[in-house]
Chains A and B, each alone.
Chain A
């Protein structure tokens, strides 16, 4: 029984890792409607920044994670200004192809710059080991992920639902021209929102390295998982993304434990079934 509780906790922690990475995608793809396949590539930028800063430059963990977020935000903002902004009005397919192109360039660049090997990340002593809570041993790092995920969820929901910035974004997505004619600088707003999504990708990527590992194929390996989480959750709904991330984290870990020979099959079958029944996602507006 206790073993199963630990597996369940592992699933929840994995769900939080997924949410940390998918939270940003929920803004760029879910809210702004930009089919951003390069999200996991931005997470990789964050992951490498943090791993290299800690490993090579000896930075403290939290500073490295924050810098990872900033680096990813900058990368995302540059991509948005130079490439993505031209395609906000284009078809999903064109957005997909352009951003997949960015993914391929990113994989090649990472292989060239850092090499094809797996990269590990060192975590500080206060995140290492277990916390004993009665009969249950909680891995400190997992606990840290869960807390970070909850903080992210609460602040994002507050930002999108309860601030002027969030209201402006929602207005611009709903009707771009009308919003612009209200004197809101939609261009700047989109750039900011995109940078925010990218920053979250970077932070999520940096925090996920310890659990998922990091190599140049990261952008493709986790792209599909993140896409599924955001679309099953429901485009435009952060709560949906969170729910889907939890669902998938738990199903994946428990499924791989109970039926290891089937692997990720359960996840994809569940996603397909859910999308068939509810194409708009678990919590999502029908479009």
Chain B
């Protein structure tokens, strides 16, 4: 069976073009833009699970943070090559994801939330209790990155970091796109739509869920690794419950089950946090809470849904039937 080539939507193309354009439009904001890309990649990894498989994760920061620490430790201990570092972070997180995936495949409903929550808490505690390895509360420091491909030095302005994050995110986006449009991804969607009927088609739901969870953890780990490499520090916060919640918010703001939604949501979320927390961090919490409440009560489809409606409307206006 050959996967049908999925058509690119206007929103997807617009996002990747706009992201590249932002490099030239906002040269003073490269650090923030890089964080948006990384946040987007992390949210997209969660989308594979939640948006396509209907499996919520309440502790996805475990994989993000593990990837960050793995890549950070590798660089801090003398191997600062960026690309192998990202792969290493992905492998570490993917390995943990694989280890826990059979548990995730077994439980359903509220128990999934609790199990993923426990995984997140476990990793957070482990990292905070091993200061000799992770730096504890002060974070992991001394991450020394080598030039990218041996050519591009990571500079103070974040120019290399931006294009590096852009390229890795884009490649992983392409890979995720292929995955969700493959038979494997279609089976995953089937599980979301009707969990009890999929086994009747001869498809093992447990196996599909395990694969999805492992892939999602791997991509989350790579996103974490990117963050460690581009900021050259790993804070304990990368493993926190708040980080997991933030990824959920980004994804739901952007739009579930669209892949690009995670990126758009992350851009909106990180931009809003930057503006609002500059006023006062307490206000940011307040607004974050209100945004969450409003989202659940009103939205269906998130920003991507709204943008798609808008694009649809404009297209119809231009070519009236």
Which A positions have Cβ atoms within 8 angstroms of B? 29, 35, 83, 86-87, 90, 92-94, 96-98, 100-109, 111-112, 220, 224, 227-228, 231-232, 235, 261-265, 268-269, 271-272, 275-276, 279-280, 287
Which residues of A lie under 8 Å from residue B157 when comparing CB positions? none
Q: How far is the CA of A287 from the CA of B114 in the complex (A)?
A: 15
Q: How far is the CA of A108 from the CA of B287 in the complex (A)?
A: 9
Which B positions have Cβ atoms within 8 angstroms of A? 50, 56, 58, 103, 106-111, 113-115, 117-119, 121-122, 125-126, 128-129, 241-242, 245, 248-249, 252, 282-283, 285-286, 288-293, 295-297
Q: How far is the CA of A264 from the CA of B111 in the complex (A)?
A: 21
Evaluate whether A268 and B252 lie within 8 angstroms (CB atoms) in the complex, with A275-B107, A276-B103 already known.
Answer: no
Q: Are B296 and A97 in contact (CB under 8 A)?
A: yes
Q: Are B107 and A279 in contact (CB under 8 A)?
A: yes
Q: How far is the CA of A280 from the CA of B112 in the complex (A)?
A: 11
Which residues of A lie under 8 Å from residue B109 when comparing CB positions? 92, 287
Q: Are B122 and A100 in contact (CB under 8 A)?
A: no
| Minimum CB–CB distance for B122 against chain A, Å | 4
Selected contact of A265 from candidates B50, B108, B122, CB within 8 Å = B122
Q: Are A263 and B129 in contact (CB under 8 A)?
A: yes
| Minimum CB–CB distance for B286 against chain A, Å | 4
Report 10 cross-chain contacts, Cβ distance below 8 Å, ordered by A residue. Answer: A35-B110, A93-B248, A104-B285, A107-B285, A112-B286, A220-B241, A220-B242, A264-B125, A265-B125, A279-B108
Q: How far is the CA of A228 from the CA of B121 in the complex (A)?
A: 11
Q: Are A101 and B106 in contact (CB under 8 A)?
A: no
Closest 3 A-B residue pairs measured CB to CB? A101-B292, A104-B289, A108-B286
Q: Are A92 and B110 in contact (CB under 8 A)?
A: yes
Evaluate whether A224 and B117 lie within 8 angstroms (CB atoms) in the complex, with A108-B282, A235-B110 already known.
Answer: yes
Q: Are B252 and A262 in contact (CB under 8 A)?
A: no
Which residues of B lie under 8 Å from residue A104 when comparing CB positions? 285-286, 288-289, 292
Q: How far is the CA of A90 from the CA of B298 in the complex (A)?
A: 13
Q: Are B122 and A272 in contact (CB under 8 A)?
A: yes
Q: Are A108 and B118 in contact (CB under 8 A)?
A: no
Q: Are A98 and B297 in contact (CB under 8 A)?
A: yes
A263 nearest in chain B by CB position = B129
Selected contact of A275 from candidates B50, B114, B249, B293, CB within 8 Å = B114
Which residues of A lie under 8 Å from residue B106 when comparing CB positions? 276, 279
Q: Are A94 and B115 in contact (CB under 8 A)?
A: no
Selected contact of B118 from candidates A86, A96, A235, A271, CB within 8 Å = A271
